[in-house]
Amino acid sequence: MSSLAEMATIFLAPNDRDAVLGDLAETGASGWSALGSVLGLVVRQQMELWRAWQPWVAGSVAFAGSLLLLSVSFGLSMDSRHLLRGERGYGSVLCEALLMLSWAWTSGFVVGSLSGKTRWASGLLSAIPCLSCVLRFHDTSLSRLCVLLFLLPGLVGAVQGMRRTRLSHGTALTLAIAVTVLMLVWGGMLYMQNWFLFLPAWWLVAHAERSKLPDEKATA
Amino acid sequence: MLGEFEYVLITAAAGLGESAYGAAIREEIEKVAVRRCSIGALYTTIERLEKKGLLKTWMGAATAQRGGRAKRMVRVTPKGLHAAKEFYEAMMRVSRNASWAAGKRERAS
């Protein structure tokens, strides 16, 4: 069997990999024919995933969330600089940092939990605005990487979302209320332009409510 | 209702019984239905049918013939058998007045 076909099976789940390579060995398929069979399966599996709504929502959240969080990260970097110069209070910068962290984490969590199998597409949709922004960044007083402050909490959220898939109802509700209160009380109208970013937190609440475990329902 | 290829796959798997797995089902489809069956079409359909609860799959034993790789064994669930029977009966009803089906009936009688 061609080593190319074996290499192509890295895109398959471990069980599928074993079954497909075994089938190819049994039927004596080799070379381009084996590679074509494996790639055909990979393409079909991906197409099958995109028939559901989850990858589309995950991709939209990744793209729109990255666009908004780029400007939030830039604003936080500017305000941190003002804080160091004594032109800004600790409270507002801390609030801004907490909001950025929670927006990025909840957006990442939603993307990861909704569609972990299409993470490459969500990652690409998130990377496009990031790359475009970093390449066009002109402010010489700040590092161009300052716009990417949201990436680490976003990635942590995505990984946790893929592993855990849902939060308990209490945790999700606390998080959503905290994000909303931070936006309304400290951020005021300034942050209302980023209303899209509190949708992931409330989506997590709705999702936790819908998929409550039986013992959670009994105690409710 | 099942799709045409889903019906063909369930029928082939049911016919093979305990020895139904990827390569055997593919060979059966190509032999009986006289059509090419790609690995991609086979495994994505198996996954879809398993999600619908019409098939059950598990990893079987590895053999030397397969280069030490395990087989993905397939079993049709009672729900799958019911869906296949429904599809077959619907096709029979739909074909009742078709000229080709009438010819078959006459020959049979």
* Number of domains observed in the structure of chain A: 2
Distance (Å, whole) CA A108 – CA A115: 11
**Interface confidence (ipTM) of the complex:** 0.81
Chain B interface, best mutation among A24, A26, A32, A38, by max B CB count within 10 A: A26
User: Is A119 part of any domain?
Assistant: yes
Does residue A151 belong to any structural domain of this protein? yes
pLDDT of A148 above 70: yes
| pLDDT tens digits, B20-48 | 999 999 999 999 988 889 999 999 999 99
pLDDT at A203: 86
Residue A64 lies in a domain: yes
Query: Residues 32-51, chain B: which have Cβ within 8 Å of A?
Result: 38-41, 43-44, 47-48
Long-range CB contacts (< 8 A, 24+ apart) of A194-200? A194/A68, A194/A72, A194/A103, A196/A64, A196/A65, A196/A68, A197/A65, A197/A68, A197/A69, A197/A72, A197/A103, A197/A107, A198/A103, A200/A61, A200/A65, A200/A103, A200/A106, A200/A107, A200/A109, A200/A110
pLDDT for residue A170: 87
Mean pLDDT across A92-111: 89
Check pLDDT > 90 for residue A81. Answer: no
Domain check: are A15 and A86 in the same one?
no
* Burial of residue A60 (number of CB atoms within 10 Å: 0-12, 13-18, 19+): middle
Residues A119 and A34 in one domain: no
Q: Are residues A78 and A187 in the same domain?
A: yes
A180 domain-assigned: yes
Say if A219 falls within a structural domain.
Answer: no
* Domain extent at residue A170: 54-212
Say whether both A88 and A191 belong to one domain.
yes
Is the pTM here over 0.80, yes or no?
A: no
Do A201 and A103 lie in one domain? The reply is: yes
Shared domain for A162 and A94, answered yes or no, is: yes
Domain-embedded: residue A220: no
A135 and A204 in a common domain: yes
In a domain, A218, yes or no: no
Distance to chain A for B45, nearest Cα, Å: 10
What is B4-97's CATH number?
A: 1.10.10.10
Same domain, A29 and A84: no
- Over residues A25-77, the pLDDT tens digits come to 888 887 888 999 999 999 999 998 998 999 999 999 999 999 989 988 988 88
